[in-house]
Amino acid sequence: MATAPASARNAFRADLLLAQAAARAGVVSSTANRRDKGWANWSEFCSQLQVDPSLTEVDDPVEILMVYAHRVRTGQCSRSGRPVKRDSVDTELRYVGQTLALLGTPDPRYDQSTNKLDYCLSSMLRGYKLADPAPSRVKPIPIPVLVRATMETAASTPLMKSCGDMICIALYYLCRPGEYALSSDSALSTPFRFMDVDLYIGQRQLDLATATEAEFNAATYAVLTFTLQKNTVPGEKIGHGRSGHPYFCPVLAVVRRLLHLRQNGAPREAALHSWYTRRNRHDLRVRSVTTLLRKAVAEHGQAFGLKPSDVEARSLRSSGAMALLCARVDTNLIQLVGRWRSDAMFRYLHVQAAPLTSRLAPQMFHFGNFSLAAPLPPAAAAVVATS
pLDDT greater at residue 35 or residue 370: 35
Q: How many other CB atoms are found less than 10 A from the CB of residue 154?
A: 12
Helix 86-102 / helix 61-74 crossing angle, nearest 10 deg: 140
Q: For the chain, report the end-to-end CA distance as a whole number of angstroms.
A: 82
The CA distance from 53 to 39, in Å, is: 9
Residue 233: the pLDDT is 61
Higher-confidence residue: 266 or 33? 266
What beta strand segments (E) does 112-226 contain? Answer: 116-117, 197-201, 204-205, 221-225
Residue pair 142/300 in contact (Cβ under 8 Å)? The answer is no
Beta strand spans in 76-143 (E): 110-111, 116-117
Name which of 176, 171, 173 is nearest 189 in CA terms. 176
| Residue 379 predicted with pLDDT over 90 | no
Q: State yes or no: pLDDT of 47 exceeds 90.
A: yes
Q: What is the pLDDT of residue 15?
A: 75
- The fraction of the chain above a pLDDT of 70, given in percent, is 81
Per DSSP, the three-state class of 225 is strand
Report, as an integer, the average pLDDT of 138-162: 92
Angle at 152 between CA 151 and CA 155, to 5 degrees: 95
**Mean pLDDT of the residues in the chain:** 84
Q: Are 221 and 251 in contact, with CB atoms under 8 Å apart?
A: yes
User: What is the enclosing helix (H) or strand (E) of 277?
Assistant: strand 275-277
Of 121, 131, 129, nearest to 65 by C-alpha is 121
Three-state DSSP at 80 gives: coil
153/165 Cα distance (integer angstroms): 9
